[in-house]
Amino acid sequence: MQTYDNIINGKPLASTETFESYNPATSEVLGLVARSTDVQIGQAIAAARKAQPAWAALPDANRREYLVKAAAVLEENAAYLAELVTREQGKPLTGPGSQFEIQACVDWTNVPADLELPVEVVFEDETRRDELHRKPLGVIAAIAPWNWPLLIATWQIMPSIRAGNTVVIKPSEYTPIGTLEMVRLISKVLPEGVINTVSGDGTVGRRLCENPDIDKIMFTGSAATGKKIIQASSENLARLTLELGGNDPAIVLPDADPAAIAEGLFWGAFINQGQTCACAKRLYVHEDIHDAVVAKLKGLAEAMPMGNGLNDGIVLGPVQNRRQLDIVSRLTEDAKARGATIVCGGNSIDGPGNFFPVTLVTDIENDAPLVQEEQFGPVLPVIRYSNTDDAIGMANEGDTGLGASVWSSDTEKAAAVAGRLDAGTVWINRHGVIHPMVPFGGAKKSGFGLEFGIEGLKALTQPQIISISKAEAA
């Protein structure tokens, strides 16, 4: 059985300890993965620290050229990497699945390569000129999740190195192979030490975050883990960008056309089997069109083939791991016990894989755990409302605020509602549609810091003011 090693200073590094990675559709073991020791974590950080000054000293145009080379490597290896993602994460190859994820990796590599970060003149008069320059921070610790294991790793890596930083990335212990293989491939076209990896469980992540040579931490994942990262970073006062998930509401106004919005709503909720931070996870539908919207969604749910994503025609895969499957099952069973109606789905599917069908739940109160907790799976509670103010109030309940959406035939009316929602991004007549040039980040306890575009790139730099006197030298 193949063992997947870490990449440190451009070379593979084996470990005396390994762990297994599984296929969530079949439960088969895919391979063994090196478990980083404390010594190896230190070696990875030291390699990044050693490489960073020379990398930062390169002309900006040269670093941008390296990113273009990395994007080409991703293109050349797209089929190989997509199959790894399907085997390890579970999303199907086609549709909004693994091939989509790898192409997005290419796009999120090329865009930072195109961005400009010019010197800004922040003040000037007859006596002085004050310029804002942007310098790299140093060594970035990146901790990637299991739901989009290559794409989110790309979000963390590429802007970081574009800005002149070096990176040590830890993939999720549930999906390490694809991320390790992506780094192995792109490291071949980068100078040694620019990207390094460590792998293992949360202990490895904690050791990485608390190291005094880490200058910034980027993390996407749960709020509980985010709090642990904040505690660990108190040792080194590292800067933080934390995307801590959400429980995104979608509000359907009474003038919406159920047939026109059904497909957008469906994929806004169930892309990647609902395992996306910015998926719609609770749906508020006006009573006038509630039944029609639910009927359209039910028709789509029952028509979508689910199974092993390597098979032809499959568009929905498994829940990635048993722990998450248990959460989805628990919340669904609680809804049943409260008297909610299961419109379709409702029970995990027997077999070796972690399959749970698309499940629509109606006749449920807003205070039910299925509504108030982020289920992060293929279950959508649908709450009937009669007054828009009430819908907005329910949507704003809770302590998360990553995304939200409003659906209406009247864009101006939808925009007025959108402005009243507590979320970092509010989409109108779509949900979760991100773009590499559009800043993305959460409100409330969905984290802090921005990613993507110019704002995301700036977040990976240290501003430096150079103040120039115009007075003649004495």
CA distances from 314 to 75, 282, 317 (A): 23, 25, 7
Element (H, E) at 285: strand 280-286
Q: Annotated catalytic, 243? A: yes
Say which of 88, 181, 210, 277 is annotated catalytic: 277
Please give the Cα distance from 221 to 32 (Å, whole number).
24
Say which of 210, 243, 374, 451 is annotated catalytic: 243
Can you read off the two tokens belonging to residue 14?
Answer: 């084996």
The 3-state DSSP class for residue 25 equals: coil
- The length of the chain, given as a count of residues: 474
Can you read off the two tokens belonging to residue 457?
Answer: 């790139």
**470 phi and psi angles, rounded to 5 deg:** -90, -5
Can you read off the two tokens belonging to residue 112?
Answer: 């930072």
Q: Is the dihedral of CA 432, 438, 444, 449 positive or negative?
A: positive
Please give the Cα distance from 439 to 418 (Å, whole number).
17
HSE, side-chain direction, 13 A CA sphere, residue 204? 27
CA distances from 258 to 255, 286, 410 (A): 9, 11, 14
Antiparallel, parallel or unpaired: β 341-344 and 359-362: antiparallel
Catalytic center residues: 243, 277
